[in-house]
Amino acid sequence: MNLVRALLLGGVLYTAPAVVLASLFRGGELRRWCLGAALSPVALGLSVLPMRLMGWTSFRAGAGALGVWTLLALLRLRRAPGRPAGEEARALGVALPLSLLVFLPPLFNSFLRVRSDAWFHAAVEAQVRSLPLPPQDPYYAGMQLQYFWFFHLVLSVFDSVAGIRAFEAMWLFNSAYFALTLLGAWSLSRFAGAGEAGARWAPWLVAAGANPFGWVWIGVNAVRDPEHWHHLARMLPDYVLNLVAWGYTSAALAFSMDKFLVGTAFSWGLALFVWWAACSAEYLETGRIEAALGAGALTAAALMVHTVAGFTLGWAGGLGLLVALALRPSRGATARTAILGACMFAGLLLAYPYLRAVTHGKTDGGLPVPRLNRSMIWTTLWVGAGMLPFAVAGARARWNSGPGGRWLVATCFSLLVVSCLLTLKFGNEGKFMHLSLLLLAALAAEPMREFLASRLRSGAARAGAMAAVFAPTTALVLACVCVTRGRAEEKPYPPEPGPSEARAYAWIKSQTPTGAALLARPGSLEGVVRAERAQVWSESNYAVTWGYPPGSIDPRRRAALGAFGAGLDSVDMEFLKSLGRPVFRVSRDGEGPRIPGLAPVHREGKWVVERLTFAEAK
């Protein structure tokens, strides 16, 4: 990565739309900058999308968008917000140091940038950048991806124009969106009625408020299952999330910052969600139409970036509006409810064509199943144990403070209750809790400060009490994450290739068509990122997750297994030919059988790349 190019062009790609958008909002300087920064990547992506759909390359579309946004930023520069001062500057002084907790670990431990879901997202980004839209699934060559890809479209612009690879872009965006989430919690807490000092506690609760007593489970797990000692000794620090959780819907909930230390679009969704809540609360409290329009824009942005965050925002916010109106009806509240609901619905309509495209052809929409979710109830009570009592106290005070406070209370507890009555695939209902924790932090901040202030006069004593409750689990997990290498997996993921294998993938990347398909050994996911080529089939659960028809997966599985097993028969050859693209097999000597039609085209040490040719029909 060329650092000068990345800093210059990457910085302009992010800040130019932010300047333009911030100039359109009103209110405090910090609020305007935060809303502009939160919406900036989405606005950039929306400006690039039509050009890409018309067939422009990623670089050409990105460069065009860069020029347009730069010009607009220069024209709007005089209307841009100024430097935050006073209370806003003090809030910034809390959020920026805390954001280093997300920025620094991946800086010093490169594995954090490529681990877990980041590998899949980087593979999708390569397809979005290199081929026309809509993208194909990098794990199943030739199949349209049935997963939200707008996030990857934005990443592809930064890759093609600024030279910032997907892994580095996700890390930098996580850092920026973590800071925005912290500031959003502060802003929301203020609109919920917290004082200046109390609102500054909200960012701390977002960063460290989840699972405060998770350290208890280390001993419980070890006593109940002595095998944990073996895992602890062999795989610490990677095993730590399993040790500080007990029956949770998602182990990620054991650590407040988990979603910001993994390459994922959900970190964007968290920031957009909390600022949507802040704009909604502000509108209901003040009646400023600009705040309602901001909530509508944030609704569309969340739906484009992460569908779970976007739809949760919709149903939880809508339910909160109805509950608050039903319990405290008035003519003014009815009008504001209707206007805010209309703005959110307009956001949904804006995102609908994209949502329709990414779900087209699914056999299973992955909708929530109504069912009492005992695991979610337990998770909510234990993960939120440090904040729930204070949030309840805050809810009582906020309920009578005004319509914005009532809506926040109704939305928060509607989200908590309904999420315990739903089940999603693979424990994805845990994402509801991640979003709920942001609202809980805003409600709990002021009551927690008042509780400690009434018992401890010294600020140092109050800080010590907070640290004693919330620091142990967070500090333990964060310290382990900083040095993790993925040993809690069956093998390090993704495995580091040897020099010869790396050169083989580099040759495929530079010398084969971008639309080529790879036959890779079962279990390998190297080629989708290192060669930036889609695999015919991959041994993963994505086919189940995305709801692909089994009939479209089975021929791929058969061909890939045959290429490294019994060979390819006429059915396999016909299927591979039907893909309509060049097919290559990458393998070590002796890994795959000799197959008629497969001819070596490149060799690196023990690694060989072979191209499959098909017999002409007679």
Distance CA 508, CA 526 (A): 12
Q: How large is the angle between the packed helices 289-305 and 307-327, nearest 10 degrees?
A: 140
Distance CA 16, CA 77 (A): 10
Please tell me whether the overall predicted TM-score, pTM, comes out greater than 0.85 for this model: yes
* pLDDT confidence tier of residue 487, bands split at 50, 70 and 90: low
Average pLDDT over residues 369-383: 89
> Per-residue pLDDT for 402 more than 50?
yes
Place of tokens 């007990």: 246
Distance CA 303, CA 366 (A): 16
Q: Is 132 exposed, middle or buried (0-12, 13-18, 19+ CB in 10 A)?
A: middle
> Per-residue pLDDT for 85 more than 70?
yes
Q: Which residue has the higher pLDDT, 149 or 489?
A: 149
Question: What pLDDT score was predicted for residue 361?
Answer: 58
In DSSP notation, 308-357 reads: HHHHHHHHHHHHHHHHHHHHS--HHHHHHHHHHHHHHHHHHHHHHHHHHH
Strands (E), 279-417: 369-370
CB 90 within 8 A of CB 32: no
> Per-residue pLDDT for 365 more than 60?
no
Name the H helices within 225-306: 227-235, 240-243, 266-286, 289-305
Lowest mean pLDDT among 14-28, 181-195, 480-494, 539-553: 480-494
Amino acid type, 450: E
> Per-residue pLDDT for 134 more than 60?
yes
The upper half-sphere exposure of residue 550, i.e. CA atoms within 13 Å in the direction of its Cβ, equals: 0
Q: Is the dihedral of CA 466, 468, 472, 478 positive or negative?
A: positive
pLDDT digits (tens, 9 = 90+) for 536-587: 998 776 666 677 777 888 899 999 999 998 888 889 999 999 999 999 999 9
Cross-strand partners of 600? 610
> Per-residue pLDDT for 363 more than 60?
no
Which residue, among 556, 609, 534, has the nearest Cα to 123 in the 3D structure?
Answer: 534
- The terminus-to-terminus CA distance of the chain in angstroms comes to 50
* pLDDT confidence tier of residue 5, bands split at 50, 70 and 90: confident
> Per-residue pLDDT for 486 more than 80?
no
Average per-residue pLDDT for the chain: 89
The full 3-state SS of 126-191, as one line of letters, equals HHHHHCCCCCEECCEEEEECCCCCHHHHHHHHHHHHHCCCHHHHHHHHHHHHHHHHHHHHHHHHHH
CB 504 within 8 A of CB 602: yes
> Per-residue pLDDT for 289 more than 90?
yes
> Per-residue pLDDT for 500 more than 50?
yes
Tokens of 412: 């928060």
Strands (E), 457-582: 517-520, 534-535
Question: What pLDDT score was predicted for residue 346?
Answer: 96
Question: What pLDDT score was predicted for residue 491?
Answer: 44
pLDDT digits (tens, 9 = 90+) for 203-257: 999 999 999 998 888 878 777 777 767 766 666 666 777 788 888 888 888 889 9
CB 250 within 8 A of CB 430: yes
